Amino acid sequence: MTPPPQPHAGLRRAGMGVLHLVLVVFALSQLFPLLWVFLYSLQRSGDLFGNAMLSLPHDPQWVNYTRAWTDGEMVRYGLNSLIVVAASTIASTFLAFCMGYAIARMRWRFKRLVVGAITMGMVVPIHATLLPNFIWYNLFGLVDTRIGLIIPYVAFTLSFNTLIYVGHFQNLPVALEEAALLDGASWPRILWTVIAPLARPATVIVAVMTTLTNWNEFIMANTYLSSDELRTLPFSIIRFEGQFSSEYAVQFACMVIVALPAVALYLFFSKHIMAGATAGAVKE
């Protein structure tokens, strides 16, 4: 929409220019630290202490990245992350789909109680469960195992995911399921062949958000896992604190490698996430 020409058109244009500037400056402030980390990751570790602020390295040290890859145990930690994240994302998405459907579409007793419990799950801080869970999981031999990390990863993403599905299902027309029911289809069949395809937009958001959350998760892994063989990717950065603490540039390279998959996944799905989450946010 273009506003009608006004006597103050020049002033208006200047105003718009200022507004654009504000937006761009803010964008830079959000990206600048990342850019800085990237540039430093290509320096020699000793050069960081010089006076230069943001110089492009004349002689980019890509070797920092190969060193980050090997000294940071990227392959082992990365595989651990992949296993734990894949398992917890699949489980959490599936369980949230089922619960979300039952809450949005079916009538049953104790529903309010269950919804209350799910809402509680959004409010209770993970940190308050670390100690009791450590004690409790220990009884089952779950401390320092993959499954002992996957279970809480599912639990702490389930509430948010279920509520996303509930919101989505409440906006779907019921006619399709009724038709399928009249045809004599069974419930599992209807859920899988009729409902699941319709829930696709919600599933994309849920799966991507769960993957990002658990890919980045640190404190539960730090608490429940003690053996190095099971640790996840964020620990490759932590490794550099101890034995390679003077290798700043390599640590920076390590940070870039850890951040990249998450940023790439986000950029790839950002349109879906923005659209879907907007629908959710607005309804509230």
Near another protein in 61-90, by CB under 8 A? none
Other CB atoms within 10 A of residue 229 CB: 10
**Residue length of the chain:** 284
- Stretch 26-55 residues interacting with another protein (CB under 8 A): 26-27, 29-31, 33-34, 36-37, 40, 48-49, 51, 53-54
# binding residues, another protein (CB under 8 A): 90
- Stretch 194-253 residues interacting with another protein (CB under 8 A): 212, 215-216, 218-219, 223, 233-234, 237-238, 248, 251-252
- Stretch 143-182 residues interacting with another protein (CB under 8 A): 151-152, 154-156, 158-159, 162, 181
Q: Judged by CB, which is closer to another protein: 28, or 63?
A: 28
Unique residue bearing structure tokens 């990206």 = 31
- How big is the CA angle at 35 (ends 34 and 37), to the nearest 5 degrees? 65
Determine the Cα–Cα distance for residues 58 and 44; give it in Å rounded to an integer: 11
Binding-site member from 82, 83, 90, 95 for another protein (CB under 8 A): 95
Unique residue bearing structure tokens 């958001």 = 205
CB of 227 to another protein, least distance (A): 16
Determine the Cα–Cα distance for residues 157 and 89; give it in Å rounded to an integer: 9
- Stretch 245-284 residues interacting with another protein (CB under 8 A): 248, 251-252, 255, 258-259, 262-263, 265-267, 270-271, 274, 277-278, 281-282, 284
Q: Using the rule CB under 8 A, is 93 a contact of another protein? A: no
Determine the Cα–Cα distance for residues 212 and 263; give it in Å rounded to an integer: 9
**Beta-carbon contacts of residue 214 (< 8 Å; ≥ 6 apart):** 84, 85, 88, 89, 153, 157
